[in-house]
Amino acid sequence: MSNSTAGIIIIGDEILSGRTKDTNSNFIANELVKVGIKLEKIVIVPDQEKIIIENVKEFKKSYSYVFTTGGIGPTHDDITAECMSKAFNKKLILNKTAHNLLKNYYKKTKIILNESRLKMAYLPASSKLIKNSVSAAPGFKIKNVWVMAGVPKIMQAMFLEDIEPRLSLRKKIFSKSIKVFKPEGDIAKFLGNLQNSFKSVEIGSYPFYTPPDIGTTVIFTSLENKNIINSTKVLCKFLTEANIQFLR
């Protein structure tokens, strides 16, 4: 569909353990639709150097844009910056701009910029900073990889204020959903035929069960709104003729 693709790498043991709920990938996915970038893969990885590096190397080759969240804080298990430097064969250096941002921020808060906090200013050489209007410690971009904080409030500020305006706007992605009050298996064959007739439209079906309602949500996605309109008309015509309740 879109010639711009994306992958998301969520980094953090706390996500895998269930202690923290991942909301970052959902937020990024919704924003990518707005700028016409197709999200193709999401992975959640632990705070382990080898696994992080392997996934970054794979993703940066596979997708136009890669977004990572987590692991750029001051604690011992925040190793994302170091992993990025190794994945791109870049030295991990004290970024002067990031250092100044932290000095100014902590001076205002009267909190000491100790060695642990200073760690957040060490970034891979040649990185471009991502603004952090919440807590000053910046994210960074290296090649096609955008590295953000794991805290949702900070990540969202980084994405909305600095990343999204810098993304290349592609064709808008249109989407429409229709709720069908019939089990997925009752309309599966027709949806398969419909997909073959409208190859420029991605058609997905997702069953729901909320008693007394049992049915299927059908989602149409395309770069051309007219293709969605035409395909949904065919589905609605079929549902009407088959005497299937599809709208409320």
Cis peptide bond upstream of 212, omega within 30: yes
Domain that holds residue 180: 174-241
The model's pTM is 0.81
Distance from C-alpha of 97 to C-alpha of 57, rounded to nearest angstrom: 27
Into how many domains does the chain fold?
2
Last residue of a domain, one of 166, 188, 221: 166
* Whether residue 30 sits in one domain with residue 11: yes
- Sequential pLDDT tens for the chain (248 residues): 457 899 999 999 999 999 999 999 999 999 998 888 999 999 999 999 999 999 999 999 999 999 999 999 999 999 999 999 999 999 999 999 999 999 999 999 989 999 999 999 999 999 999 999 999 999 999 999 999 999 999 999 999 999 999 986 666 778 899 999 889 999 999 999 999 999 989 999 999 988 888 899 999 988 888 889 999 999 988 888 887 765 54
* Whether residue 218 sits in one domain with residue 156: no
Residue 247 lies in a domain: no
Q: What are the residues whose beta carbons fall under 8 Å from the beta carbon of 196, sequence distance 6 or more?
A: none
Name the residue among 18, 77, 69 with its Cα closest to residue 42.
69
* Whether residue 224 sits in one domain with residue 111: no
Question: Which pLDDT does position 212 carry in this prediction?
Answer: 84
Sheet holding 128-130, edge to edge: 38-45, 5-11, 65-69, 145-148, 139-142, 128-130
* Whether residue 145 sits in one domain with residue 34: yes
Question: Which pLDDT does position 145 carry in this prediction?
Answer: 98
CATH number at residue 37: 3.40.980.10
Question: Which pLDDT does position 1 carry in this prediction?
Answer: 47
* Whether residue 222 sits in one domain with residue 178: yes
Q: What are the residues whose beta carbons fall under 8 Å from the beta carbon of 189, sequence distance 6 or more?
A: none
Helices (H) and strands (E) in the chain, counts: 9, 11
CATH number at residue 220: 3.30.70.600
Residue 219 lies in a domain: yes
